[in-house]
Structure 1
Amino acid sequence: MQKKHERFPKLYISPKVAPYLFILPFFIAFLMFQAFPILFSFFLSFQKWNGMQPFTFNGLKNYIYLFRDKIFWWTLGFNLQLLLITIVPLHILSILFAVMLNSSLIRLKTIFKTLFFLPYITSAAVIAIVFWLLYAKNGLINILLQKYFSSVFDFLNIRLPIDFYMVWPDRNIFVFSLSFLLIWKFIGWNIILYFTALQGIPGSYYEAAKVDGANWFQILTKITLPLIKPMMYFAVTMSVIYIMQVFDEPTILLSSNVITSFGGLTMVIYLFNQAFTHMNFGIAAAISYILFFLILAITRILKLIFKER
């Protein structure tokens, strides 16, 4: 009797080799889309390259150029100022709202959590357009200020309507406008993080504290905050990473003429302009590594602040 030939011969794979074949696609994707861009950008930070001509070794000239560039220091200052005025109120409000949601005083907690979380899942472009309409000279905020608080602003000698987009040379107004947008967007995400951490605290701790006569402030500072410190470190670190790399919101809020008139606003916008407006890819790569080490230093400081004692 003639044997039937199989259409596809069986391929024997050693049990020792099979696990590596399963993880091989991940490593190929990682090398192509993660490792290679990181290593190439590091190489590029020491080169002069416009994307068309051959590479020219530039040594440390790209970094020296940035440290001598006034626009670089301006964008760095803007980023740090935005970070400071956003991080503190964002996480204070997030913790307070999370504590309120965790208490027995608030009902319909799921609805409140959903409402708080909606801005986070909304597109950054949509949020920026909404705030662009609110911040306009004939927008809702200026209309309300002129209708109900005009006498207060007259007393303070502040002319209405307020230009919320004033960036240069006085950048203070816009940095607060952008900060308010970021707080509104990310407060829901942080509330959920802190609420999750609060759910992990045993109720017996609070009951014992109340028996000992502790008030709400003592409970908050002696029990709640110390026990959610790991989550605070994670949440603040994630906020730092995003704020230091913010790009979409200021780009949409401000016209391209305002941003390009002095080279940039945030460090990432400055990086983008160097790469795709001036075609200085070497300088752009150097900015990315300076930003990386700056974020690394800030997260290291945060680790020391939130270190368990």
Structure 2
Amino acid sequence: MNAVPTLETHLSDDDLTAALRADALLGLTSAPKWLPPKWFYDARGSELFEQITELPEYYPTRTERALLERVVGEIARSTRAEVLVELGSGSSAKTRLLLNALTAEGALETYVPQDVSSSALRAAVEEIAAEFPAVSVHGVVSDFTGTLGNLPRGGRRMIAFLGGTIGNLVPAERAEFLAGIHEVLEPGEQLLIGAGLVIDPAVLVPAYDDAAGVTAEFNRNVLHVLNNRLDADFVPEKFDHIAMWDAENEWIEMRLAATEATTVKVRELDLTVEFAPGEQMRTEISAKFRLDGLRNELAEAGFRTERVWTDPDDRFALVLSERV
């Protein structure tokens, strides 16, 4: 039997609220306005995103999973990781593929899922510990962009950052994030990234603007979060969902557009925000990559790309690199 699973907390509910206050104050007073995508994910937002992953238009999740199923044995043989760290683990669903493969190789000793949601992480930690009794499970509640230094050290580690989440960071944020991973890892330890690739916008845009309107509801959920946590009075129905392809930056941009002149009060910030008719607020970018560009970003952060796997349609990539 394995040891009792542990949950280490570096991010309290008060910390989250303070971060939301800071982000909302900065973003809502900027021109143009913006909000970070991490605030989509309260319980309702997480539920909506799970629905999105099952939509016919939304190819990234199923494409990455099918790719991972095909190559996970190669990943396990290449890394023989003793410690698997997963950033933004959520329910750890896809990671079970890695856990199965790494335990079959006989190397894996510890699984370290990291997430901002203590409730989601607690459930995942308990489930994984029950499913993999030979693996020690050590959950870390933190924000992956700011608390990488809190990840446990020791053992031959591989950090997995799946789901294309790296695309939610603008280039400067990606450079800072990858530099932070480089600082945390020891030479020879590895980083596995799942990244969406640049493809035909006719396929790409509908993935973020589905016919059923689930993504639109997900996008507007950030307004519900501000209402609930900061005592704002947004009327989400007065904002339209927009998803557009930015060809210059090669990313999808999600926005909310005011359907009419709107005044919003954010009482916790003592802030009044005016929206002009049609004014847009950015809520997410989802950058897509070219493999040479991703290799270059990794190299600039001090990583050597070891292996790259793509799906048959070249829509998604898994990139394994080593810290040098």
Q: What is the TM-score with the length of structure 1 in the denominator? A: 0.24
Larger radius of gyration: 1
Identify which of structures 1 and 2 has the higher relative contact order when contacts are C-alpha pairs closer than 8 Å and 6+ apart: 1
Q: Which has the higher helix share?
A: 1
Q: Which has the higher strand share?
A: 2
Q: What is the TM-score with the length of structure 2 in the denominator? A: 0.23
